[in-house]
């Protein structure tokens, strides 16, 4: 019987390899201590999400819709232009009488990012919008109205406030905050967990175990097995940390307030987030596994960890930059670039209800996982094992006999 006939099929061999590595890592003492580390990074994640949400809001600021008479619209616009250089004012869009709609319709119009609507007159202005927004803009509207009236009155006109539940600007700001938080969490989890893959093969190379594995199963099966074993270990860690986070959120829900809901809804968003974490881990893990397999010692792996971290940071910054402008060239590039695609698609799930793009993106990402694994295992065979395209070649078997000779 030939060597190829006696070998296990690729995916069955990968499953055996994954089960072996999973048990070895899960029941080790080092893994128990590893679970304790990410708790200290929780505060960093929350702070980064808050800063990112604030930056996203400033990149696309909400506008004030001015729906007065045509003459008063013009006077209000002139007052805004006169005071804009001296006072921080919201951007305005004047709505002509020919296109007059009620405040609720203007706030629901997705073509403009309206945070509030000014109606009534300059003497008795009425501001409609979310309670937080109109309270923030009340003073600016009173000042502009007084300036538009000629500035002769010593008192500012009283602005009547008409709060609503939500607006397009509020929804966009909330969804952007959710997208930023999801990207940050995905980055932290991937950076924390994928680093373990770098040193995965070094010890087995030093002990000649990798030569035994290469003689018994295809090298691609070794790579797939190790990747999926580390992914399973990562899910165990996420389950533990997620349980702790859920307990904290439940106990502190009153202080946190409502969490912005993503565009696809929370149940589907959680499923997509976990799925994109898996593809992000497999993509970056396959690259890290190849890099780590080329390192002869653990010290060399530590040296290689710096460019690996820089790669992850570059992917994170690309995805964060592109989420503020959906549909732009930068966002499309982030979606198509394999390593950043999971991050960009998580942001899309938070900002857009369209679902078919996720099916296409997942197929695209899994294709690149297969490409990376095949390329990495091929490089390992040729450059490290010094063998040909087939696993367990004559030179590999010779190395195995020499390593096991008494």
- Predicted local distance difference test score (pLDDT) of residue 402: 42
- Predicted local distance difference test score (pLDDT) of residue 110: 65
CA atoms within 13 A on the CB side of 237: 28
In degrees, rounded to 5, the angle at the alpha carbon of residue 387 between the alpha carbons of residues 382 and 389 is 75
Is residue 68 within 8 Å of 76, Cβ to Cβ? yes
Alpha helix (H) residue ranges in 209-354:
209-216, 219-251, 253-256, 266-294, 298-323, 329-336, 341-351
- CA 244/CA 262 separation, integer angstroms: 22
Question: Quick check: helix, strand or coil at residue 182?
Answer: helix
How far is residue 25 from each of residues 101, 127, 191, 200, 235, measured CA to CA in Å?
63, 61, 18, 10, 13
- Predicted local distance difference test score (pLDDT) of residue 185: 87
Quick one: which H or E segment has residue 129?
strand 125-130
Distance of alpha carbon 76 from the chain centroid? 41
What is the reported pTM?
Answer: 0.67
Is residue 319 within 8 Å of 347, Cβ to Cβ? yes
Q: Count Cβ atoms below 10 Å from residue 400 Cβ, excluding itself.
A: 18
Distance of alpha carbon 267 from the chain centroid? 17
User: Of how many residues is the chain composed?
Assistant: 406
209-216 and 394-404 are packed helices; what angle lies between their axes, rounded to 10 degrees?
140
Alpha helix (H) residue ranges in 151-200:
168-198
CA atoms within 13 A on the CB side of 208: 10
Is residue 348 within 8 Å of 183, Cβ to Cβ? no
Instruction: Going residue by residue through the chain, which has 406 residues, state the pLDDT in tens, using 9 for 90 and above.
Output: 444 545 677 888 888 888 888 888 888 777 777 777 666 666 666 566 555 655 555 556 788 989 898 889 898 999 888 888 778 788 898 888 888 787 778 877 766 778 888 988 888 898 988 777 888 888 888 888 888 887 655 578 888 787 775 556 666 777 788 888 889 889 988 887 877 777 667 767 766 777 777 777 888 888 898 899 989 988 988 888 888 878 777 776 555 556 677 888 889 999 999 999 999 999 998 888 888 777 777 677 777 777 777 888 888 898 888 887 888 898 999 999 999 999 999 999 988 888 999 999 999 999 999 999 999 888 888 877 765 444 444 444 434 344 344 4
How far is residue 228 from each of residues 18, 37, 191, 223, 238, measured CA to CA in Å?
6, 22, 17, 9, 15
- E strands, 39-113, are 63-66, 91-94
User: Which phi and psi (to 5°) does residue 324 adopt?
Assistant: -75, -10
Is residue 311 within 8 Å of 305, Cβ to Cβ? no
Is residue 62 within 8 Å of 169, Cβ to Cβ? yes
130 bridge partner residues: 164
164 bridge partner residues: 130
- Predicted local distance difference test score (pLDDT) of residue 53: 56
Question: Quick check: helix, strand or coil at residue 103?
Answer: helix
Question: Quick check: helix, strand or coil at residue 106?
Answer: helix
């Amino acid at each position: 019987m030939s060597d190829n006939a006696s070998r296990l099929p690729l995916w069955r061999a990968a499953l055996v390899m994954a089960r072996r590595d999973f048990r070895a890592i899960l029941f080790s003492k080092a893994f128990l201590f590893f679970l304790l580390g990410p708790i200290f990074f929780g505060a960093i994640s929350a702070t980064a999400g808050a800063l990112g949400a604030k930056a996203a809001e400033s990149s696309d600021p909400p506008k004030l819709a001015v729906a007065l008479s045509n003459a008063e619209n013009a006077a209000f616009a002139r007052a805004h232009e006169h005071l804009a250089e001296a006072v921080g004012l919201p951007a305005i869009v004047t709505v002509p009488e020919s296109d007059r709609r009620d405040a609720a319709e203007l706030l629901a119009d997705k073509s403009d990012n309206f945070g509030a609507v000014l109606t009534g007159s300059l003497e008795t202005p009425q501001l409609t919008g979310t309670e937080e927004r109109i309270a923030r803009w009340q003073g600016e509207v009173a000042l502009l109205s007084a300036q538009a009236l000629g500035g002769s009155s010593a008192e500012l006109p009283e602005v009547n406030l008409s709060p609503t539940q939500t607006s397009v600007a509020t929804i966009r700001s909330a969804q952007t905050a959710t997208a930023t938080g999801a990207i940050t969490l995905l980055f932290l989890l991937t950076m924390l967990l994928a680093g373990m893959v770098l040193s995965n093969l070094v010890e087995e190379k030093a002990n000649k175990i990798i030569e035994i594995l290469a003689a018994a199963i295809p090298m691609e099966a070794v790579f797939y097995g190790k990747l999926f074993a580390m992914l399973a270990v990562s899910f165990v860690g996420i389950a533990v940390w997620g349980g702790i986070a859920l307990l904290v959120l439940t106990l502190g829900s009153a202080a946190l307030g409502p969490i912005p809901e993503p565009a696809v809804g929370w149940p589907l968003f959680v499923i997509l987030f976990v799925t994109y974490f898996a593809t992000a881990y497999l993509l970056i893990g396959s690259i890290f596994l190849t890099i780590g397999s080329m390192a002869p010692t653990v010290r060399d792996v530590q040296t290689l960890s710096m460019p690996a971290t820089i790669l992850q940071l570059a992917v994170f910054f690309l995805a964060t930059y592109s989420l503020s402008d959906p549909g732009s060239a930068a966002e499309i590039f982030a979606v198509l670039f394999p390593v950043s695609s999971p991050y960009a698609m998580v942001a899309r799930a938070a900002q857009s209800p369209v679902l078919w793009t996720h099916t296409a993106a997942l197929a695209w990402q899994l294709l690149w996982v297969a490409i990376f694994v095949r390329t990495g295992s091929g490089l390992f065979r040729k450059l490290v094992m010094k063998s040909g395209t087939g696993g367990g070649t004559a030179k590999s078997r010779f190395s195995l006999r020499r390593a096991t000779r008494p």
